[in-house]
Copies of this chain bind each other. A is one copy, B any other.
Amino acid sequence: MPAIRNLALLGFGNVGRTFVDLLERKRGVLREQYGIEFRLTGVATRRLGWIANPHGLDSAALLRGEFPAPGTQLKDVRDWIAAARAEVVFETTSLNRHEGQPAVDHIRAALECGADAISANKGPVVFAYQELRDLARARGKRFLFESAVMDGVPIFSTFAETVPAVEVRGFRGILNSTTNLVLEQMEAGATLQQAVRKAQDLGVAETDPSNDLDGWDATFKTVAVSNVIMGGRLRPDEVHREGIGALTGEQVRTARDSGHAYKLVCEARRLQGAIVASVAPERLPLTDPLAWVNGISSAINFETDMFPGLVLTELDGGLDATAYGLLADFIRASRS
């Protein structure tokens, strides 16, 4: 009998709930193919408080919205991790744009308390990657975050595992779904405002879409990929950032009529020892492999010393794929 791993979730929004549902759907596969047994022993959100039960919580009840009372004696994340006897902590709270808090503190606490830390949140990677990576190594634990960029598409693990010993010279990608969907709507005739409303109706854009439209989300992803895969130490304010807010529908349609597509392109490149990165709308010829990444699809094209172009593309990304990234990280953490 394999040991049962205790899992605790920070954040229980769409990603957290989809993940719990996926864990249950994959329970048999985890047991049979990977020898992994698990139980959910902690859930915490700002609204619900610190809920912990080391004997296991009822996933189905949580998914129905039925939560046990929080532990009244639990004052902070460390109390909660201890009470849940958590061995793996999943961080899925929403991103704080300026410093990545409280997610950075949560991950630090998890690792210091002896748990693996798995994040779908870009914040800890963008603001504290080196520190948290080193802390994880020192404690013999894992800090994994495959879902932070392109849902669960194996960007980070490809370079950590399946493409060893390459030198990554740079990358170009389309990493923000909202702007990509908005630009596609504008090509089809919409104004920027109409396109944003459409993206909101589809649940892709947030109520305040500025984080996407101004290129912040794309910038964070660019920083995450640069720092993890290219060994950079970029800060978000060092990325040349330009959003799509100044583009008009007419510009986008005129480009399309002449065989070009506007895309918000994330780019990073090694230049004389440093990494230079940018996020900006580009008018791409339709022969560019990124020109055909439409709607809520995303893609990243890596230039390495071994491959002139190695592209990973996700067609029609979504919550399932994000939750899957957490699951894949959980399997990785349980293997090592």
Q: Which residues of A contact B (CB under 8 A)?
A: 26, 29-30, 33-34, 152-154, 157-158, 161-166, 286-287, 289, 292, 294, 297, 299, 301, 306-316, 318, 320-321, 324, 327-328, 331-332
Contact = CB atoms under 8 A, between A and B. Distances in A.
B34 A165 contact: yes
Given A162-B154, A311-B315, A306 B289 contact: no
Nearest to A302: B315
A306 B152 contact: yes
Given A289-B315, A301-B315, A165 B26 contact: yes
B165 A154 contact: no
A328 B26 CA distance: 30
14 contacts: A26-B165, A29-B165, A152-B306, A153-B307, A154-B162, A164-B332, A166-B324, A286-B292, A287-B292, A306-B321, A310-B314, A310-B315, A311-B311, A311-B313
Nearest to A161: B161
A306 B150 CA distance: 13
Given A152-B306, A162-B162, A165-B29, A313 B331 contact: no
Nearest to A315: B309
Contacts of A154: 158, 162-163
A315 B308 contact: yes
A289 B308 contact: no
B165 A327 contact: yes
Given A164-B331, A165-B34, A314 B324 contact: no
A328 B292 contact: no
A321 B158 CA distance: 16
A168 B163 CA distance: 21
A33 B165 contact: yes
Nearest to A331: B164
Contact of A316 (B26, B297, B308): B308
